[in-house]
Amino acid sequence: METNTRGLGWLRVWGAAGACLLVAGLCSIGTTAPAVEGPPLSGGPSQPDGVVADLMRRITEAAMLPGPLEGYVTQVVVQRPTLGGAPEAGPTKSEFMLAQGEDSRISGLIVSVSKYAFRCQPKYYAVDDVWFQVTPAGPQEPSLRELYWLDPSGAERTFSFDYLADHTAPGSVVVSPRPGRALYLVEDALQVDLGLDPGRVRYWLRRMAEADPHVALGVLRQGLECVQVAYGRSEPAAQEVVEWICPGRGYRCVERVQRTHLAGGRLRYLHMVVDEFLHVAGSLWVPVTSRMATTDVNPDGTTTAISQVVTSCGGVRLVGPEEAARSPLLPNGTIVRDADRRYVLGQDTSELEARLRDGQLPPPLPVPDLEGVWP
């Protein structure tokens, strides 16, 4: 059977000090590729007048889609178990379904996988999401499959596959009055703006604009020349946020650190870093491999890993309106039988799941050092 592991190179080599295997069509963060058109931002090492507004405008413009976009995303989530049932500070949905017993843990941790296919364009999205827990014995039953789409009224509809005991219906639909989880799935993974509220790109831009940020130009980060943006917040808790935005990668965020001051002197770090980008078309770049970690630093200097998420995008491409209208959105990992050929549509995660069951978990991100970074 043919397999498709495009965009999953990191799954095979993540034990090698976080190295990534590049596959055809991908661009590592340090290589040369088409940059975004337009004059450079001007100004010195301290914040010049108008630079923040100009930067926000460029981020907004670069995040807009030129047409329908589709692709596949796989996320691995590793979390601490808790005595209370649900994992602590976990980013997964349906946390109450995660088994907590010792026989369900891998290396003492709770591991889950979300695989979804998406199709989106300005003011619209559809997502087919399959989610399951990985245990030493295999996928934990039951797995979940949910379909999300935005209806003409702007409400998010969610279809859950569930044959009810007292009915012949194959599932049920829940209607939310506004865009919800699926919008976050698409915009967080791709760093795109679908022109909907509450959007993720817009969320970070609002935070930046409200905080009077300090901007430094020409800062090297992850091998790329970036605009460094640092700002603080006091509500609901004291926070420091530093983002590195790369003009040469469509004004995408290459790395973000959010440090929150918790009760008792603890510091919680939310750290996101992009390892690979894909140039789709024009100024449209999307992260192909990214990692995010939540870590607490205790007053005595010890650290507690709360959760980590590794995200891989594959098969991301622009599609024509006719193709988008005629072809259905099929789940990530669907087996296709075509005459004497069999192949996987999207991302084949069989090797990934075997490695996870064997205890080969993604290495944790180190706690970022903001010394010399925070103004």
Which of 163-167, 286-290, 324-328 has the weakest average pLDDT? 163-167
Task: State the pairing for strand pair 341-345/267-281.
Answer: unpaired
For residue 300, the number of C-alpha atoms closer than 13 Å in the C-beta half-sphere is 2
Q: Please, what is the average pLDDT of the chain? A: 81
pLDDT at position 2: 36
Closest C-alpha to 300, from 266, 335, 339, 252: 266
**pLDDT tens-place string over residues 32-49:** 334 334 444 444 344 455
Q: What is the pTM of this model?
A: 0.82
Cα pseudo-dihedral 160, 166, 168, 174, rounded to 10: -30
Residue 299 pLDDT greater than 70, yes or no: yes
Which of 199-208, 275-284, 311-320 has the weakest average pLDDT? 199-208
Q: Containing H/E element for 226?
A: strand 224-233
What are the C-alpha distances in Å from 354 to residues 116, 202, 343, 350? Answer: 19, 38, 19, 6
Residue 275 pLDDT greater than 50, yes or no: yes
Residue 30: which pLDDT band, with cuts at 50, 70 and 90?
Answer: very low
For residue 230, the number of C-alpha atoms closer than 13 Å in the C-beta half-sphere is 16
Q: When comparing pLDDT for 125 and 166, which is higher?
A: 125
Q: Give me the residues paired with residue 128 across strands.
A: 117, 147
Mean pLDDT of 287-299: 95
Residue 80 pLDDT greater than 70, yes or no: yes
pLDDT at position 7: 41
Residue 3 pLDDT greater than 80, yes or no: no
What is the Cα–Cα distance from 73 to 182, expressed in whole angstroms? 12
Mean pLDDT of 77-92: 61
Residue 85 pLDDT greater than 50, yes or no: no
> Exposed, middle or buried, 360 (CB in 10 Å: 0-12/13-18/19+)?
middle
What is the Cα–Cα distance from 63 to 289, expressed in whole angstroms? 18
pLDDT at position 140: 67
Residue 160 pLDDT greater than 90, yes or no: no
Query: Residue ranges of the domains in the chain?
Result: 9-31+43-322+331-357
pLDDT at position 110: 92
What is the Cα–Cα distance from 79 to 249, expressed in whole angstroms? 31
pLDDT at position 372: 74
- Burial string for 236-260 (b: 16+ CB within 10 Å, else e) reads eeebbbbbbbbbbbbbbbbbbbbbb
**pLDDT tens-place string over residues 339-368:** 888 888 899 998 999 999 999 999 888 898
Residue 316: which pLDDT band, with cuts at 50, 70 and 90?
Answer: very high
pLDDT at position 325: 80
% of the chain exceeding 90 in pLDDT: 51
pLDDT at position 155: 92
> Is the sign of the CA dihedral 80, 81, 87, 92 positive or negative?
positive
